[in-house]
Structure 1
């Protein structure tokens, strides 16, 4: 049996369905050979045992930290909803997307530890919800970078204060596009029971056998281009131009803080998602290679474990978004302290007056009208 991974979800296919150029021999032999392509099925116990422990623990950590962080962001935004800027609106949708993605993690954790026990309907719905919010979070980060780029580098306001509905319309457009990207999940995700794994039920993609290779390659290309290459290129270009523009100006404390935050945004995005994309490319190349020549089972096991680890690292980005877009801001901390004070916490001596001229997240001059710093 061969396992593939896409955006954290397992795509599992029977070996005979892969239509590879070599033949598997399904012998009832517990001591299987370690050679993947010499007529014996590889033993995947190592990678499965790793996933059964690693995924539930890390997903639980991501869920807890992500819900607390994004929950605080949404609470502060709701408290200061009358003074939202464009960036605040994007951050609101980003927080919602991160939370909706995080709430799907317990389903995948249960599947990794045991099996999929939630039925075919929830398999399709959970997979689609995951995909919608996975892409939505990345696209919203790109929207924020584009808005800042136009405001700071070209002094052009993409959204007018007099037409606040425009930014909401942009966010709605992002959500609709992400829903369209999730349609294949609603159609192709299904539950499957594998006898060789003790009849363990999994929520997996069920590709048409005659076009399985084409479907799989299309999914991989779609993810690499739409889910990583385009947003990564957009962020690097926009934030590089912003940094150059800020560097040429006066080096005030506010600008130095903004430059540090921008570098943090870009570095964190690449640290979280680049390892997964590299491993995914290696796994794809290894699968293509296996169609023509023998590939050691140790290679498959290493790649499978690496995909599990790097996928979880990517999900931790949902936990870091509140830190990057909110907690580093002096103004957000003040608003948060005010919120805690309203709940009865004795912290009044730490709360400083807050100006209403800029974003909820900014303590600097609102040069761009969208600064989240």
Structure 2
């Protein structure tokens, strides 16, 4: 009986200690694969966004569309500049202080600029809707000054939401599990805010996605109706214009949706202790890192949006690649989008068509 009691008691102690053990994160894959992927991404993103910044800041802000695009370029550049520190932190190069700095400041800036880009892409879709579907509807949102104010508001709101993540990460980092986890630096209020903020950001992303789908669906229908009303037989032209319209939605969904699917369960493993789920936690960590890299590729894909949708940007880029100067005044012309120009061609055909 005594031996049985001691054996049972030892099993209970073993099980309790097993449940209380902290889950050690398996970084055997992420510390090797992702630093290489992010390094490659950084090189492409730096070149593309520096080129985009050089072009855009030689273009006058004559429309809200250009204002939003300029702000996206700034956000993408800032996000790009945080990538080298993420590479060093993820590959365990340097001291724990480097990773602590990354967790408290650099990672916060990385996510902040990502959501600034998301919101600005939503504003672009609303701007396209008003100027293409309702071109004669005079709305204050179409004024350049209002666009600048909205952009500043987006930056102010996102920075304000991000600041508590920095302020509340004031605990001495715990190194007992080998690699410093960012959540180990957060106090109780910081962990709570981390969960609340991630819920808010889910609303931001899915709300923006719905707005974009609705706006671009109406734009696509307007394009189709215009071609049909002009009795233009060019179905190819209509499809080409529709493809341009949906390129933003496609880039947006492919880049960001997978991350937001993976983010919710991963955040719960960060903020809530789930017993005996270490393997699931590690799997969710890999899923989160994989989809986060996919989200980061948006800094390279955004220039595609500039090429597809902004006529002046495309002209300036073509001239730069061919090393030919643009005619004087080319950058001073109204910054119409490709879709607007094609719509105007359709309306012109309608006005000269024999009745």
Aligned-residue offset at 1:122: 6.8
- In 2: Cα distance, 1:326 partner to 1:191 partner: 46
Aligned-residue offset at 1:218: 1.3
**Alignment partner of 1:310 is 2:291:** yes
Say if 1:264 and 1:324, in contact at 8 Å, map to a contact too: yes
- CA 334–362 in structure 1, closer or farther in 2 if over 3 Å, else same: same
- In 1: Cα distance, 2:64 partner to 2:20 partner: 60
SS in 2 for 1:44: coil
* Map of 1:261 onto structure 2: 244
* Map of 1:31 onto structure 2: none
User: Given the two structures, how large is their TM-score scaled by the length of structure 2?
Assistant: 0.76
Runs of at least 5 residues in structure 1 that lack an aligned partner in the other structure: 1-21, 26-36, 369-373
- In 1: Cα distance, 2:46 partner to 2:269 partner: 37
Aligned-residue offset at 1:213: 6.6
What CA deviation, in whole Å up to 9, does each residue of 1:295-348 have, x standing for no partner?
45332222111111111111111210111232576653431132345xxx4x68
Aligned-residue offset at 1:145: 0.6
**Alignment partner of 1:279 is 2:262:** yes
Aligned-residue offset at 1:131: 3.6
- In 1: Cα distance, 2:222 partner to 2:132 partner: 8
Say if 2:30 and 2:90, in contact at 8 Å, map to a contact too: yes
* Map of 2:113 onto structure 1: 133
Say if 2:49 and 2:73, in contact at 8 Å, map to a contact too: yes
- In 1: Cα distance, 2:19 partner to 2:183 partner: 27
Say if 1:131 and 1:181, in contact at 8 Å, map to a contact too: no
Aligned-residue offset at 1:225: 1.1
**Alignment partner of 1:231 is 2:208:** yes
- CA 141–275 in structure 1, closer or farther in 2 if over 3 Å, else same: same
| Alignment equivalent of 1:56, drawn from 35, 38, 41 | 35
- CA 205–239 in structure 1, closer or farther in 2 if over 3 Å, else same: farther
- CA 274–82 in structure 1, closer or farther in 2 if over 3 Å, else same: closer
- CA 287–317 in structure 1, closer or farther in 2 if over 3 Å, else same: same
| Alignment equivalent of 2:83, drawn from 98, 105, 110 | 105
After the TM superposition, which residues 89-168 of structure 1 pair with which residues of structure 2 at under 5 Å, given as runs?
Answer: 89-114=67-92, 116-118=96-98, 124-155=104-135, 156-158=137-139, 164-168=144-148
**Alignment partner of 1:78 is 2:48:** no
**Alignment partner of 1:321 is 2:302:** yes
Runs of at least 5 residues in structure 2 that lack an aligned partner in the other structure: 1-13, 345-355
Aligned-residue offset at 1:216: 4.4
What CA deviation, in whole Å up to 9, does each residue of 1:218-240 have, x standing for no partner?
133122112x1221111111111
- In 2: Cα distance, 1:212 partner to 1:136 partner: 22
Say if 1:128 and 1:185, in contact at 8 Å, map to a contact too: yes
* Map of 2:6 onto structure 1: none
- In 1: Cα distance, 2:343 partner to 2:112 partner: 33
Rg larger in structure: 2
- Say which structure, 1 or 2, has more relative contact order (CA 8 Å, 6+ apart): 1
Say if 2:24 and 2:177, in contact at 8 Å, map to a contact too: no
Aligned residue pairs: how many? 321
- In 2: Cα distance, 1:168 partner to 1:245 partner: 27
User: Given the two structures, how large is their TM-score scaled by the length of structure 1?
Assistant: 0.73
* Map of 2:187 onto structure 1: 208
Q: CA RMSD in A?
A: 3.6
- CA 129–285 in structure 1, closer or farther in 2 if over 3 Å, else same: closer
- In 1: Cα distance, 2:258 partner to 2:66 partner: 30
* Map of 1:3 onto structure 2: none
SS in 2 for 1:365: helix
- In 1: Cα distance, 2:175 partner to 2:331 partner: 64
- CA 82–216 in structure 1, closer or farther in 2 if over 3 Å, else same: closer
- CA 54–299 in structure 1, closer or farther in 2 if over 3 Å, else same: same
**Alignment partner of 1:177 is 2:157:** yes
